[in-house]
């Protein structure tokens, strides 16, 4: 950097320059300002702190700053100058009072234009300022110039390069980046040869050496870019000398890759076209408008070897050996017409080559359409021409031969017509015979019967049905003995013998036998034989055979199946009866007998059936009507619903049956299914459901009824209580009323008020009983189901009944005999003790009441209590010898609120509650068996096995 002392202070020529003064001492700053203004400078301003100095300098860009080094505030003069310098190039002169070494060192970093020591004399000030401003301007100009050249170099497309005397690159312009992809720093310091394309290195190095002597020559060489691309460069420039000593080269490198590549491309293109041109196997000859040969291809050179070189000569001289142009020439025509012309011309070439050429002449035109020459395209058609000639000759020969042939054919045709005539006659004659035979054959082959003509037990002819039957073909059988068809000699002999006899007697015979097919299968056949001519046995026999194997098998199968079905019917678990149209019962199966007890001996016809099984007239009539209606439908083949009916069995018991009728041909089939159990179960289920719903209802209203009922009962009791003669209070109250209690009671008795009160109590109690009975339906038995000895339970209950006031007093238990028939081997029965106790009590009460029914004196009134086992059930029966129960009532007695007893005798719930306990809580059943006049038997069935249902219900 230049220093101010290098310049002589001159006159202040820089008047008008603006100066910023940074000085915190007003006396000094105003002094300076005055001096400067006198000298013609303009003072931008005076600031006192570093911050103000930076702000003002950057905003107004003064030409110079006078900066006091020591300033108040955080920025001193040096720091302020540094900040300004970072942003703008403004010269600074420091003002300093006592410049110590360190301060000056610090200040020097900021490159000041001078120092002024205080106190400042005006001359120093102005000289310094003047020189600083001037110096700054020169510097600025120099900078601008330097910048200009730098930009110029850098904007060139070429690379500027300098090397030292050894070829080490000392400078390279930035264009190296664009052209060679290198950063200048990657090139400087390296030998230039490192970047030359290997093949060109020796040449370039030679040039470099030569430059020392004769200066640098222009030359072109290849270089390698950073990415390995090969580029063409052209170098120019010169060698540099210092004191006559070679110190390196200064050169320019231009990228000429594009030009180089284009030239290469042109050369390659021309070479390619030339190769194509020469490789075409037709002759090509390019002529100018004067018919002078310009260029020819290899083929032309071969043909006209003796005239080489052809270029430059006239075509007619070379190709045709003429002095002047030919009269007939397609090229000449093309020159006139401007379009393609074609012609045949003779070939007369070197070494005696000759033939015919097909010549195409294309006129060549320039862009303006002027004809500039002719391209002759010449094809050797000598071979084609020869072939065409040969073909023409052959055609002519063929035509001659054809004519000769035609004549021969005409002769033949005449002969042929004669033949055809004869043939037609022959065919007609044969057709007649054929027709008949075809008819016969078609009959014989279509009948499904095997037919054969046998002469002396030898097969002469056989039809296809016989083949199908036996598996043999016509060929297999023709001329063979019929023995082939039989499984054994014995059978063959037997048939021969027996059939022979019949033929002899009647001329025909039928026999059943077995044949053996070709595959070895035995088939049953029926063979019928008939003599062809009765008078001549030797004329043979026509034998027809029918395969009856299937038929036989079917019969056997039928027999078997009949047996099967007969057995099935016989042992079927449902009762089956078969009767004919007249109503005669022809068959009853085993089940029928076991279920009803009847056999065909007792019911031999339908009439017996009705009489025996339905003793009651009106029911019988109804059942008959239903039966007949169902039968009609069955005869019409309709699906019919089974009829249900109650049937009296041979032992007098009744069972419910489901009847299904089926008409099979002349026979009527009746099937009876025993549904007694099912009916009972169904009814029990229905009853149980009914009772459960009553229970639900009762549970809901019991509380509401019990409260008023309690008031009724308590009210009546209290009323009677207050009439009690034993009570002192009652007596006193009566006295107070002016009457004796006895008198009041007498009055009440007389007017039956006492009776009313007692009746209220009775009715209330009955209502209470009904409500509590109804509630039984809603309650599951609270007791556990436990295994009990049924006998002991029954005995205990009888004792209880005996002591029951109601039963004893109203039913008069005293003279009723109790018969006990216990099965001592009966196992323990799972049941709820209170539940079953209640059931037994109800049944005994009922029996007792039945025996004491008013108006029906029962002799020897007896209740029989019986236990027994029936399969998986324990059965408890309570039987009386009372008046019995009518059939139509038997079902209804288990319905809730159904009673036959007098009003007040029962709640109408006893049997239904019992039935509910047995069916619902024990999964058993309660049924009745009774006939009017013969007592009633109530049957409780309790399952013995209740494991699966858990302990309690």
Smaller CB separation from another protein, 631 or 699: 699
Q: What's the closest the beta carbon of residue 709 comes to another protein, in angstroms?
A: 4
Q: What's the closest the beta carbon of residue 909 comes to another protein, in angstroms?
A: 15
Q: What's the closest the beta carbon of residue 690 comes to another protein, in angstroms?
A: 20
Q: What's the closest the beta carbon of residue 832 comes to another protein, in angstroms?
A: 17
Smaller CB separation from another protein, 276 or 718: 718
- Measured CA to CA, the distance from residue 322 to residue 316 in angstroms comes to 6
Smaller CB separation from another protein, 626 or 730: 730
Are 272 and 281 in contact by the 8 Å Cβ rule? The answer is no
Closest CA to 161 of 229, 236, 260, 223: 236
Smaller CB separation from another protein, 530 or 717: 717
Q: Determine if the peptide bond prior to 214 is cis (ω within 30°).
A: no
**Helical H runs in 572-675?**
590-596, 606-613, 617-635
Smaller CB separation from another protein, 623 or 774: 774
Q: What's the closest the beta carbon of residue 706 comes to another protein, in angstroms?
A: 3
User: Furthest-apart CA pair in the chain: how many Å?
Assistant: 196
Are 316 and 287 in contact by the 8 Å Cβ rule? The answer is no
What is the SS3 assignment for 335? helix
Smaller CB separation from another protein, 513 or 776: 776
Q: In what order do the strands lie in the sheet with 654-664?
A: 585-588, 575-579, 667-674, 654-664, 643-648
Smaller CB separation from another protein, 721 or 870: 721
b/e per residue 706-718 (b: at least 16 CB within 10 A): eeebeebbeebee
Smaller CB separation from another protein, 496 or 833: 833
Instruction: For residue 371, list its beta bridge partners.
Output: 365
User: What residue ranges bind another protein (CB under 8 A)?
Assistant: 699, 702-707, 709-715, 717-718, 721-722, 727, 729, 764-765, 768, 772, 775, 779
Q: What's the closest the beta carbon of residue 843 comes to another protein, in angstroms?
A: 24
Smaller CB separation from another protein, 374 or 716: 716
Instruction: For residue 250, list its beta bridge partners.
Output: 162, 238
Smaller CB separation from another protein, 456 or 765: 765
Q: What's the closest the beta carbon of residue 810 comes to another protein, in angstroms?
A: 18
Smaller CB separation from another protein, 650 or 712: 712
- Measured CA to CA, the distance from residue 770 to residue 859 in angstroms comes to 33
Q: What's the closest the beta carbon of residue 700 comes to another protein, in angstroms?
A: 11
Q: What's the closest the beta carbon of residue 748 comes to another protein, in angstroms?
A: 18
Q: Determine if the peptide bond prior to 141 is cis (ω within 30°).
A: no
Q: What's the closest the beta carbon of residue 693 comes to another protein, in angstroms?
A: 17
Q: What's the closest the beta carbon of residue 725 comes to another protein, in angstroms?
A: 13
In this structure, how many other beta carbons lie within 10 angstroms of the beta carbon of residue 274? 12
What is the SS3 assignment for 328? coil
Q: What's the closest the beta carbon of residue 744 comes to another protein, in angstroms?
A: 16
Are 741 and 725 in contact by the 8 Å Cβ rule? The answer is yes
Sequence-ordered list of residues with C-beta below 8 angstroms from that of 543, at least 6 positions apart, any chain: 451, 452, 453, 454, 527, 528, 529, 530
Q: What's the closest the beta carbon of residue 732 comes to another protein, in angstroms?
A: 11
Beta-sheet pairing, 114-117 with 92-96: parallel
Are 137 and 120 in contact by the 8 Å Cβ rule? The answer is no
- Measured CA to CA, the distance from residue 137 to residue 135 in angstroms comes to 5
Q: Measure Cα distances from 786 to 31, 95, 463, 512, 951 in Å.
A: 137, 130, 88, 79, 7
- Measured CA to CA, the distance from residue 274 to residue 297 in angstroms comes to 8
What is the SS3 assignment for 612? helix
Would you report the helix, strand and coil content of the chain in percent, each value rounded to 5?
A: 50, 25, 25
Smaller CB separation from another protein, 493 or 765: 765
Smaller CB separation from another protein, 409 or 729: 729
Are 613 and 595 in contact by the 8 Å Cβ rule? The answer is no
């Amino acid at each position: 950097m230049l220093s101010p002392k290098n310049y002589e202070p001159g006159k202040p020529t820089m008047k008008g320059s603006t100066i910023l003064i940074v000085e915190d001492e007003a006396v000094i700053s105003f002094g300076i300002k005055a001096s400067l203004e006198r000298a013609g400078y303009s003072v931008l301003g005076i600031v006192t702190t570093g911050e103000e100095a930076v702000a003002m300098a950057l905003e107004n860009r003064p030409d110079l700053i006078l900066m006091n080094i020591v300033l108040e505030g955080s920025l001193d003069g040096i720091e302020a100058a540094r900040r300004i310098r970072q942003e703008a190039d403004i010269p600074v002169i420091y003002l300093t009072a006592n410049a110590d070494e360190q301060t000056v060192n610090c200040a020097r970093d900021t490159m000041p234009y001078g120092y002024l020591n205080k106190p400042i004399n005006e001359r120093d000030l102005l000289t310094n300022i003047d020189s600083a401003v001037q110096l700054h301007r020169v510097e600025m100009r120099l900078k601008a110039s330097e910048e200009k050249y730098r930009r110029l170099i850098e904007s060139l497309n070429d690379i500027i390069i300098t090397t030292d005397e050894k070829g080490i690159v000392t400078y390279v312009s930035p264009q190296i980046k664009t052209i060679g992809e290198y950063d200048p720093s990657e090139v400087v310091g390296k030998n230039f040869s490192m970047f030359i394309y290997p093949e060109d290195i020796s040449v370039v190095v030679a040039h470099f050496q030569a430059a020392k002597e004769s200066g640098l020559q222009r030359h072109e060489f290849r270089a390698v870019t950073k990415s390995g691309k090969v580029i063409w460069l052209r170098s120019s420039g010169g060698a540099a000398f210092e004191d006559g000593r070679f110190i390196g080269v200064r050169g320019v490198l231009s990228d000429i890759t594009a030009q180089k590549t284009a030239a290469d491309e042109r050369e390659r293109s021309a070479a390619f076209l030339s190769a194509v041109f020469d490789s075409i196997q037709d002759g090509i000859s390019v002529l100018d408008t004067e018919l002078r040969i310009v260029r020819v291809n290899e083929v032309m050179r071969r043909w006209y070897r003796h005239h080489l070189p052809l270029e430059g000569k006239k075509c007619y001289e070379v190709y045709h050996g003429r002095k002047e142009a030919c009269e007939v020439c397609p090229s000449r025509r093309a020159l006139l017409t401007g379009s393609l012309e074609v012609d045949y011309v003779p070939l007369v070439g070197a070494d005696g080559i000759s033939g015919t050429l097909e010549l195409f002449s294309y006129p060549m035109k320039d862009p303006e359409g002027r004809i500039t020459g002719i391209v002759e395209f010449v094809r050797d058609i000598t071979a084609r021409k020869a072939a065409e000639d040969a073909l023409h000759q052959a055609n002519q020969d063929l035509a001659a031969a054809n004519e000769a042939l035609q004549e021969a054919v005409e002769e033949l045709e005449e002969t042929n017509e004669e033949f055809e005539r004869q043939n037609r006659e022959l065919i007609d004659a044969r057709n007649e015979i054929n027709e008949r035979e075809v008819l016969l054959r078609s009959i014989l082959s279509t009948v499904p019967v095997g037919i054969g003509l046998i002469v002396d037990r030898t097969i002469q002819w056989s039809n296809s049905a016989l083949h199908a039957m036996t598996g043999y073909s016509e060929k297999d059988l023709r001329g063979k003995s019929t023995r082939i068809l039989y499984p054994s000699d014995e059978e063959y002999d037997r048939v021969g013998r027996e059939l022979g006899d019949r033929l002899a007697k009647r001329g025909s015979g039928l026999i059943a036998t077995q044949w053996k097919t070709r595959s070895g299968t035995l088939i049953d056949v029926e063979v019928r034989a008939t003599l062809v001519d009765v008078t001549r046995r030797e004329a043979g026999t026509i034998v027809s055979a029918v395969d009856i194997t299937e038929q036989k098998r079917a019969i056997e199968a039928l027999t078997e199946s009949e047996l099967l079905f007969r057995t099935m019917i016989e042992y079927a678990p449902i009762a089956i009866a078969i009767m004919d149209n007249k109503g005669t019962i022809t068959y009853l199966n085993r089940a029928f007998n076991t279920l009803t007890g009847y056999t065909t001996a007792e019911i031999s016809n339908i009439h017996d059936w009705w009489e025996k099984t339905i003793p009651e007239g009106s029911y019988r009539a109804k059942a008959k009507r239903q039966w007949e209606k169902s039968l009609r439908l069955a005869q019409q083949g309709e699906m019919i619903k089974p009829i249900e009916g109650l049937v009296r069995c041979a032992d007098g018991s009744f069972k419910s049956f489901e009847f299904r009728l089926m008409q099979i041909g002349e026979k009527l089939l009746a099937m009876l299914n025993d549904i007694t159990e099912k009916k009972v179960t169904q009814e029990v289920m229905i009853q149980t459901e009914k009772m459960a719903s009553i229970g639900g209802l009762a549970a809901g209203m019991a509380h509401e009824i019990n409260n008023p009922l309690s008031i009724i009962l308590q009210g009546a009791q209290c009323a009677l209580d207050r009439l009690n003669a034993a009570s002192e209070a009652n007596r006193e109250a009566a006295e107070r009323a002016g009457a004796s209690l006895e008198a009041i009671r007498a009055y009440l008795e007389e007017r039956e008020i006492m009776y009313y009160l007692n009746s209220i109590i009775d009715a209330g109690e009955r209502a209470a009983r009904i409500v509590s009975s109804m509630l039984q339906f809603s309650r599951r038995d609270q007791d556990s189901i436990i295994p009990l000895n049924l006998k002991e339970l029954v005995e205990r209950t009888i004792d209880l009944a005996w002591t029951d006031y109601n039963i004893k007093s109203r039913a008069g238990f005293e003279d009723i005999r109790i018969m006990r028939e216990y099965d001592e081997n009966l196992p323990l029965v799972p049941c709820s003790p209170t539940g079953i106790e209640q059931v037994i009590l109800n049944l005994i009460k009922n029996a007792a009441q039945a025996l004491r029914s008013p108006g029906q004196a029962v002799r020897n009134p007896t209740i029989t209590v019986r236990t027994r086992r029936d399969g998986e059930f324990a059965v408890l029966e309570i039987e009386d010898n009372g008046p019995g129960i009518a059939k139509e009532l038997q079902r209804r007695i288990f319905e809730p609120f159904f009673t036959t007893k007098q009003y007040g005798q029962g709640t109408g719930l006893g049997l239904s509650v019992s039935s509910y306990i047995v069916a619902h809580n024990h999964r058993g059943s309660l049924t009745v068996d009774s006939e009017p006049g013969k007592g009633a038997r109530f049957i409780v069935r309790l399952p013995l096995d209740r494991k699966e249902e858990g302990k309690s219900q």
